[in-house]
């Protein structure tokens, strides 16, 4: 029998004994009162006898006082006898009531205990009717329930600890990713700013090249007018034209390779260097054109009146050559500034400049061919033809340069827009990572709180 049920049964037995003891005392008092009443009757008879035989008034007075006391005693005994009978009757009536109260008390205890056992069986998925439940097994079943609960809490505590071990590395990794993405976002913003600057510089350079192209076209037109009378150095001019064609082909291949964001900065640097070479070539051509114009003026002066027309043409060509040289120097300064600004981006990309070297080589070939043209000019007509060829080459180079700059400008704008989209995507990803870190930290806090709450339970 469980300890608590045994204690309750002992308590009920003690209550029954406590009820039976007053009943026995009442019976004892009742019978003792009857004996005392008989003895008092004898004493009254003796008192009457002595009253008749004795004549002493003092003794009679004493006996009268005793008689009064005995009357009070008899009255009290009669009252005691009455109350004893009443108590006996009440005691006999209390015994069934006590028994009924005992069984009612037991039912009050056992029914809740059976309800508790029923819930325990339901917790273990055991189907038992109310009559089949033995409430004396309450302690044993409750011990089993405590053991099961202890096992569940232990497993839950283990799961919580495992979650803490898993979430902490995830949080650290997320924080590390947040740092890396933040650095990458900073780099992308820097590249975007560089791309915007390069795009603005390229647009400014394009405007300058348009001016140079207009001047070169004017020189070419006037040179072609003067070259209508020239017929020499055709083979050398053809060789120079072929070199220019190869240069244009090389620039076209460079333009085709500017299709990816990763190669954009490298090709931009290469194109900028090539532009510098072309500007140098244009400067040299303009300088040599100026020299040729001077030589033509000298030869025209020697020719006298027949060379006056060539003198005017040579003077105009010299002025245009000087303007072209100044414009080329201005372009060279702007290109130099652009190269200085894009130097950091070129170092970051770290790509080779094979195509640019190839373009420079072809440009050198064109320069050598043009040198042959200059050396081949032996007369005024040949000099004018050389001026025409040089002007045509200058116009062609400037046009190619303009197209390259336009292609670079378009690619730079595309790259700038691409870097902006990348920066926006990286910023959004950075926000997602930070939200993920916040959720992981909240989850870790909740799991730690759950683990602390589980540690407060102990069923042992």
**Residues 130-141 pLDDT 10s:** 445 555 555 566
Does residue 430 form part of some domain? no
The pLDDT confidence band at residue 284, using thresholds 50, 70 and 90, is confident
Does residue 266 form part of some domain? yes
Q: For the residues of 56-114, what is the DSSP string, one character each?
A: -HHHHHHHHHHHHHHHHHHHHHHHHHHHHHHHHHHHHHHHHHHHHHHHHHHHHHHHHHH
Same domain, 79 and 205: no
Q: Name every residue whose Cβ is closer than 8 Å to that of residue 181 and which is 6 or more positions away in sequence.
A: 426, 429, 430, 433
Q: Domain count for the chain, please give it.
A: 2
Same domain, 232 and 355: yes
Indicate the length of the chain as a whole number: 460
Query: In this predicted model, which residue has the larger pLDDT, 124 or 194?
Result: 194
Instruction: Name the nearest CA neighbour of 296 among 319, 320, 321, 313.
Output: 313
Same domain, 95 and 206: no
User: How many whole angstroms separate alpha carbon 21 and alpha carbon 25?
Assistant: 6
Does residue 192 form part of some domain? no
- Burial, 294: exposed, middle or buried (Cβ in 10 Å; 0-12, 13-18, 19+)? middle
Q: Are 378 and 280 in contact (CB under 8 A)?
A: no
Same domain, 231 and 95: no
Query: In this predicted model, which residue has the larger pLDDT, 339 or 64?
Result: 339
Q: Longest Cα pair distance anywhere in the chain, in angstroms? A: 212
Q: Are 254 and 403 in contact (CB under 8 A)?
A: no
Same domain, 311 and 412: yes
Same domain, 220 and 87: no
The pLDDT, as a whole number, for residue 65 is 54
pLDDT in tens, 307-322: 666 667 767 766 776 7
Same domain, 412 and 270: yes
Same domain, 73 and 208: no
- The three-state (H, E, C) secondary structure of 286-333, written as one string: HHHHHHHHHHHHHHHHHHHHHHHHHHHHHHHHHHHHHHHHHHHHHHHH
Does residue 22 form part of some domain? yes
Does residue 181 form part of some domain? no
Same domain, 274 and 397: yes
Neighbour tally for 96: CB within 10 Å: 9
Residue 5 has pLDDT above 70, yes or no: no
Q: Which secondary structure element, helix H or strand E, spans residue 458, and what is its range?
A: none
Q: For the chain, first and last CA: distance in Å?
A: 21
The pLDDT, as a whole number, for residue 73 is 47
Does residue 406 form part of some domain? yes
Does residue 365 form part of some domain? yes
User: How many whole angstroms separate alpha carbon 136 and alpha carbon 126?
Assistant: 18
Give residue 32's domain range: 3-111
Least confident window among 65-79, 291-305, 432-446: 65-79
Least confident window among 54-63, 146-155, 402-411: 54-63
At 113, list the tokens: 């205990």
Q: Are 73 and 41 in contact (CB under 8 A)?
A: no
pLDDT in tens, 20-64: 455 555 445 544 544 554 444 445 444 544 444 454 454 445 445
Does residue 349 form part of some domain? yes
pLDDT in tens, 354-399: 554 555 465 556 556 655 654 554 555 566 666 667 666 766 766 6
Choose the final residue of a domain: 59, 81, 111.
111
């Amino acid at each position: 029998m469980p300890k608590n049920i045994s204690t309750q049964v002992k308590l009920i037995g003690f209550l029954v004994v406590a009820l039976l003891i007053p009943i026995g005392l009442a019976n004892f008092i009742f019978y003792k009162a009857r004996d005392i009443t008989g003895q008092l009757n004898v004493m009254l008879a003796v008192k009457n006898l002595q009253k008749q035989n004795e004549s002493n008034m003092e003794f009679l007075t004493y006996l009268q006082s005793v008689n009064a006391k005995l009357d009070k005693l008899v009255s009290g005994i009669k009252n005691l006898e009455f109350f004893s009978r009443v108590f006996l009757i009440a005691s006999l009536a209390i015994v069934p009531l006590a028994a009924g109260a005992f069984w009612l008390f037991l039912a009050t205890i056992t029914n809740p205990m059976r309800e508790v056992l029923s819930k325990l069986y339901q917790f273990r998925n055991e189907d038992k009717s109310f009559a089949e439940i033995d409430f004396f097994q309450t302690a044993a079943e409750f011990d089993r329930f405590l053991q099961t609960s202890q096992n569940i809490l232990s497993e839950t505590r283990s799961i919580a600890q495992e979650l803490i071990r898993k979430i902490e590395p995830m949080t650290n990794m997320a924080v590390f990713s947040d740092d890396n993405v933040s650095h990458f976002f900073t780099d992308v913003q820097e590249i975007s700013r560089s791309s915007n600057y390069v795009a603005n510089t390229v647009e400014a350079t394009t405007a300058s090249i348009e001016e140079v192209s207009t001047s070169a076209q004017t020189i070419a037109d006037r040179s072609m007018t003067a070259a209508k009378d020239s017929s020499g150095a055709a083979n050398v001019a053809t060789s120079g034209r072929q070199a220019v064609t190869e240069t244009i082909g090389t620039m076209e291949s460079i333009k085709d390779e500017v299709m990816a964001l990763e190669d954009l900065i490298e090709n931009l640097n290469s194109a900028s260097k090539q532009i510098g070479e072309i500007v140098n070539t244009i400067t040299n051509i303009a300088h040599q054109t100026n020299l040729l114009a001077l030589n033509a003026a000298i030869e025209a002066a020697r020719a006298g009146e027949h060379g006056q027309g060539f003198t005017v043409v040579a003077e105009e060509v010299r002025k245009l050559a000087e303007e072209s040289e100044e414009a080329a120097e201005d372009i060279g300064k702007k290109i130099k500034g652009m190269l200085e600004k894009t130097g950091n981006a070129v170092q970051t990309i770290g790509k080779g400049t094979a195509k640019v070297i190839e373009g420079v080589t072809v440009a050198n070939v064109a320069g050598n061919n043009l040198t042959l043209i200059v050396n081949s000019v032996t007369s005024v007509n040949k000099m004018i033809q050389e001026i025409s060829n040089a002007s045509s080459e200058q116009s062609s180079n400037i046009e190619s340069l303009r197209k390259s700059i336009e292609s670079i400008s378009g690619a730079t704008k595309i790259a700038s827009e691409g870097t902006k989209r990348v920066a926006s995507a990286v910023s959004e990803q950075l926000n997602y990572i930070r939200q993920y870190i916040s959720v992981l930290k909240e989850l870790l806090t909740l799991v730690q709180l759950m683990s602390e709450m589980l540690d407060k339970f102990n069923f042992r």
